[in-house]
Structure 1
Amino acid sequence: MPQWFLESFKKHHLNDRYEIKPYLKPGFLQADFNGDGVIDIAVPVTENKTHKGGILLIHGNTGEWFVFGAGTNFGNGSDNFLNWLKKWKLYRDKVVYETTFDKDDNITGSRTVKLKRPGIELLMLENIAPDPVAVICWNGKKYIWIHQGE
């Protein structure tokens, strides 16, 4: 893991709230997630107070940080990704197919979302095979949850 990430983690006192926990392989993901030309790092973490799991991402250029899960609700993933997240990987495709739902949460189909930057694909395991759940990606202003599958 790059030294700048660990320094930023301590500088922002994130170690007071979160513990880096390598419950996912690889132990961290690196890519230019926000499109500024500088590598950003995402790591699996647990919140110290609740032991809920999630992902911490720090922008390499600014040190700005974001938490998905780990005590913070994000998308349809709840505030604890440990309950379901079994695998993660970089998502580099230029499009993702977002599952769409009606007001009663019934699946109505899917729509194509074009991506300008890499994202983080989250998967759970169903019958031993990885099943895509979502892609977390930067939309130019914030990180969003793009739901995949059921």
Structure 2
Amino acid sequence: MKHRRFLLERPRCSYRVRCGPKESINVVKPAAIVRRLILTFTALVLPLCLTLGKRTAPAEVTPVIHKGVRYVAPNDDGRRGYVEARDAHTNDKIWELTVFTNPIDPNLEEDVQWVFIESLSIRDNTLIVASERKNTYEIDLKTKAITQLPPAQSQTATPQPHNIPEVIQRAVTNGSLVKGYDLSFHLIPSYLQGDFNGDGNIDVAVLVKQRATGKVGIAIVHGGMGKATILGAGRAIGNGGDDFAWMDSWQVYAKNRAAHAAGETSVLRLRGDALLVGKTEAASALIYWNGEKYVWLQQGD
């Protein structure tokens, strides 16, 4: 009878082992172990899944300025890519245009389906819009007609966005450049930096084009004042005339440069850095600050 009683009570002892009259050891049930593993796995994996299901914020798109109008991509609506045209001086909105839309599948996470504009650039009178999916769109700024380029053409036709120094952006915005001039990118580099007037501040020289005539020149924006001085682009200086379309090279000629360009008879004492402009296998010249204005020093012809 005792033996039979032991057999009946044995299942209960499978979870508690008696080691002595006053002590016992608890044995965790297999089901409890499984539950703990599931909870641990969920706690570790669920946050990762939620993170992977969220896209990162879109990159900030550098605005472009053309003929007194600033074109911006707000990138605040993942369901569509659109651009705004704003007055470069007052920032008033002129128009808004949706370039592309993104169909959303309700069965999937919405934010991972969003597509934003990646870059803006100007070519002639056309605004080039590139999306994160490497699609390229052309907007005719006269008619606002939108054309999507074929994939192969998109990779070769999209110009790289231009990184414009902040001092130039301010000059365009506050009106010292906006009236009658556009930035030009027909040469690389399209701008140079140096202390051109010798006041200890970094200035920026940038290529510009006169809007009314298409004449090319240089705008020097002084870092200490933020005002632009136009050379060429309708304003004649020395032998360079009022149109620098002939120029195919330019560089900074440092103030402390020991050597001097061919054709000089003596070492020029400069107040600041100068610009060395030239035409390949032809003339070159120095443009420098004489304490009152920028002057032209011919180096050869």
| TM-score relative to the length of structure 1 | 0.81
Query: Could you tell me which amino acid in structure 1 is paired with residue 274 of structure 2?
Result: G
Larger RCO: 1 or 2 (CA < 8 Å, sep 6+): 1
1:144 aligns with 2:295: yes
1:90 aligns with 2:252: yes
2: CA distance between counterparts of 1:6 and 1:70?
Answer: 19
1: CA distance between counterparts of 2:274 and 2:219?
Answer: 14
1:111 maps to which residue?
265
2: CA distance between counterparts of 1:13 and 1:114?
Answer: 30
| TM-score relative to the length of structure 2 | 0.42
Task: Specify which structure has the higher proportion of strand.
Answer: 1
Determine what percentage of the aligned residue pairs are the same residue.
36
Residue correspondences, number? 135
1: CA distance between counterparts of 2:196 and 2:166?
Answer: 19
Task: Evaluate the alpha carbon distance shift between residue 95 and residue 2 of structure 1 in structure 2; reply closer, same or farther with a 3 A threshold.
Answer: same
1:69 aligns with 2:223: no
Give the match's secondary structure for 2:287: strand
The offset of 1:5, in angstroms, is: 2.1
1:124 maps to which residue?
279
Query: Could you tell me which amino acid in structure 1 is paired with residue 286 of structure 2?
Result: V
Give 5+ residue unaligned stretches, structure 2. 1-163
1:47, 1:53 within 8 Å by CA — same for their partners in 2? yes
Once the two structures are superposed, what CA deviation does each residue of 1:21-50 show, in whole Å capped at 9, x if it has no partner? 111211210011111111100111110000
1: CA distance between counterparts of 2:235 and 2:260?
Answer: 24
1:54, 1:67 within 8 Å by CA — same for their partners in 2? yes
1: CA distance between counterparts of 2:265 and 2:253?
Answer: 17
1: CA distance between counterparts of 2:213 and 2:249?
Answer: 22
State the Cα RMSD in Å.
Answer: 1.8
Q: From the CA coordinates, give the structure whose radius of gyration is larger.
A: 2
The offset of 1:115, in angstroms, is: 1.9
Task: Evaluate the alpha carbon distance shift between residue 27 and residue 20 of structure 1 in structure 2; reply closer, same or farther with a 3 A threshold.
Answer: same
2:167, 2:204 within 8 Å by CA — same for their partners in 1? no
Task: Evaluate the alpha carbon distance shift between residue 89 and residue 76 of structure 1 in structure 2; reply closer, same or farther with a 3 A threshold.
Answer: same
The offset of 1:64, in angstroms, is: 2.5
2:170, 2:226 within 8 Å by CA — same for their partners in 1? no
The offset of 1:132, in angstroms, is: 5.0
2:75 maps to which residue?
none
Query: Could you tell me which amino acid in structure 2 is paired with residue 114 of structure 1?
Result: R
